[in-house]
Chain A
Amino acid sequence: MQIKVDRELCTGCQTCITSCPYDAIAMSEDDKATINEYCQLCRACMSACPEGAIKEYNDSPVQIKQGDLSAYNGVLVFAEQRDGHIANVAFELLSAGRRLADTLGNVSLSAALFGTDEAAASELIKWGADTVYLCDDGALTRFNDEPYAELLSKIITEHKPEIVLAGATAVGRSFFPRVAARLHAGLTADCTSLEIEEGTRNLLAIRPAFGGNIMATIMCPDTRPQMATVRPKVMKTGSYDVDRKGEIIKIERPAKASRTKVVDVVKDDSLFNISLQDAEVIVSGGRGLGGAKGFEMLKELAALLSGTLGASRAAVDEGWIQYGHQVGQTGKTVCPKIYIACGISGAVQHMVGMQSSDIIVAINKNPEAPIFNIANYGIVGDLYEVIPLAIKKIKEDRGGRGI
């Protein structure tokens, strides 16, 4: 398929140019719109053109041949472990995977687990997996792209799931692209919603793009498997059933030696040992704090709430706090129960990283700050009055016991 401009109908009004999210339309020398190689076929220009001059052409009938699509069946979830413990996102994916499997109609839900033991594998069954492919090679406890990509590719090639999911974590987003490249599979990154298209069994993967300014629905109509990474904490975990039975299939360690070697794993305790992506409570500071000292105060509040500390890019750029705390497009994407934004004006890049939080509280002096547009609760005021008072009151509530 291709989108083209009918040059007879084009009046040169340039409406399509402003409608294109991908900068894919330019004016030719004779003042007609032309679509260049940046086109992603999103069809935004087609509805924007007042003359109806932009049309779809089906000039290249389908393409990638991967045999019979119907040979692919079921949903496979990559279950990430850290230090041998299954990451929460794996349980979320099992719940999302179960829903997709039910919609597809009685297909199986399997999981791939590397670098840990059968006890962990049976947890996945209790959380809803029918089958777990387990490689218990201890060398895989530390994440390494090449062996992970080799094992997962092998499982997919042998068992042919139609959908393959991983968490959009550092691990998932690093090795999934290698697997997709190897299998010529479509991969959609950082999804916030997954649906099945009625009638076709195609996975509709919905994700933010352009710094969260738009949402895009991505699909892979002609290829299998359909791969996606899913943002942690967006899907809810399902139910845990201690009596649930399933099958654990042991798989052999990777045949090839990995060229990359993980020499050391260092935990960063400046984050209170709670990673931003797992935190239920995040107290976050921006330029309005006025200095590094402000973060001491926010840290105290975060500790009282058993939460962790976030920051806007402005505060990180000022050197008030390390980059590891940065929330937003160039930092972490977070989804806590409550996000308390202190002195953060709300640049678009920051808001895309935290707008899916359950509750957003914003404290800012400037009533016009854009952060108030997405905050559930807005406090127009001085954070240096409100935060110390809150700390004092919480402590008093607990009889001065602190944490």
Chain B
Amino acid sequence: MKIIVCIKQVPDTSEVRINPETNTLIRDGVPSIINPFDLHAVEAALSIKDALNAEVTVLTMGPPQAEVSLKEVIAMGADAAVLLTDRAFAGSDTWATAYTLAAAIKFLGADIVLCGKQAIDGDTAQVGPAIAEFMDIPHISYVSKIESISGDSITVRRLMDEGYDIVEAPLPVLLTVVKELNQPRMASLKGKMRAKKLEIRRLTYKDLSLDENNLGLKGSPTRVKNIFAPEMKKDRIVIGGTPEEQTDELISILKAIKCI
């Protein structure tokens, strides 16, 4: 069985702040990390590998510096790593990103494709399902538990807004996973040694059968018109006094909006 895990290198958004005067992000010293949801996808792939003897390949599309993230996943136990990198991919939105990744996955071959639910920089959750569409395979979003898996089908829990669904799909299939699914493992010492030595395979535009008009900026329907700072809440009121007085104030707020 062949499994491909798609990961994205992202800025750690918890450390990103905005400069209110210039409306730009202050990125000084903000580290790049593997998108946290993707680590759960990696763990899912590795546990399937442990159970079913699968081969796990980690794939990312990005600039050469994304190799660091691929090596981290090798250190966790993935078998191979592929970096999809080319100037022709520059400016890709989710549509062009999914189109390109799908071509690479078809080229490499996979029975199961795993993605994190969404990336924490864009929060779109669009690339996973769109890859499945381009590959013409089914997908299941928000997987919170793998109920059973065999050589030709999989049954999972899909986390929904009011509970969960049990969903069955034949392989090949693409899954996007939520954090509840598992606890990502740490890199092993042996893995780290392997990651150090391992040559990362690079794929470019030339290696894949791609329509140039669908790549990068050219293939991307969406444009970022502008970015700006979110509005902050105004009229902040601090409720002081004894706990008794604070409670009374809380209750009068609740009454004012007819909660009680």
Q: List residues of chain A with CB under 8 Å of any chain B CB.
A: 1-2, 17-23, 26, 36-44, 47-48, 60, 63-64, 82, 142-143, 145-146, 149, 169-171, 173-178, 180-182, 184-190, 204, 208-223, 258-268, 271, 275, 277, 280-281, 304-307, 323-324, 329-330, 332, 337-338, 347-349, 355, 358-361, 372-382, 385-386, 389-390, 393-394, 397
Contact = CB atoms under 8 A, between A and B. Distances in A.
Q: How large is the interface on B (under 10, 10 to 19, 20 to 34, 35 or more residues)?
A: 35 or more
Contacts of A149: 133
B159 A170 contact: yes
A348 B123 CA distance: 14
Given A42-B226, A60-B217, A64-B219, A360 B233 contact: yes
Contact of B13 (A2, A219, A275, A349): A349
A36 B90 contact: yes
Nearest to A41: B224
Contacts of A221: 223
B41 to A, nearest CB: 14
Given A185-B221, A186-B220, 17 more contacts: A17-B27, A20-B27, A26-B65, A44-B25, A143-B160, A145-B139, A146-B138, A187-B221, A214-B25, A222-B221, A223-B221, A259-B137, A260-B169, A264-B165, A265-B163, A267-B162, A348-B13
Interface of B: 11, 13-14, 16-18, 22-28, 32, 36-37, 62-63, 65, 85-87, 89-95, 98-99, 120-130, 132-134, 137-142, 144, 155, 159-170, 173, 178-180, 213-214, 216-230, 232-233, 235-240, 243-244, 246-251, 253-254, 257, 259-260
Nearest to B224: A42
Contacts of A43: 224, 226
Given A180-B126, A181-B134, A215 B228 contact: yes
A271 B162 contact: yes
A306 B74 CA distance: 49
B92 A220 contact: no
Given A329-B120, A378-B237, A379-B246, A265 B170 contact: no
Given A2-B91, A19-B24, A187-B95, A63 B213 contact: yes
Contact of A263 (B27, B168, B223, B227): B168
Given A178-B133, A211-B13, A218 B238 contact: no
Contact of A394 (B224, B239, B260): B260
Contacts of B142: 170, 174
B18 A218 contact: no
A304 B255 CA distance: 13
B169 to A, nearest CB: 5
A359 B236 CA distance: 10
B115 to A, nearest CB: 11
Contact of B226 (A217, A281, A304, A358): A217
Contacts of A376: 233, 235-237
Contacts of B179: 323, 330
A349 B240 CA distance: 28
Contacts of A267: 162-163
A375 B75 CA distance: 43
Contacts of B248: 393
A209 B163 contact: no
A210 B239 contact: no
Contacts of A213: 13, 16-18, 25, 230
A174 B174 CA distance: 12
B229 A215 contact: yes
A40 B165 contact: no
Contacts of B134: 181
B129 A145 contact: yes
B90 to A, nearest CB: 4
A14 to B, nearest CB: 10
Contacts of B14: 211, 347-349
Contact of B130 (A177, A348, A382): A177
Contact of B222 (A63, A188, A390): A188
Contact of B122 (A19, A39, A181, A209): A209
Max chain A CB contacts within 10 Å: which of B99, B173, B251, B254?
B254
A41 B257 contact: no
Contact of B24 (A1, A21, A260): A21
Nearest to A387: B247
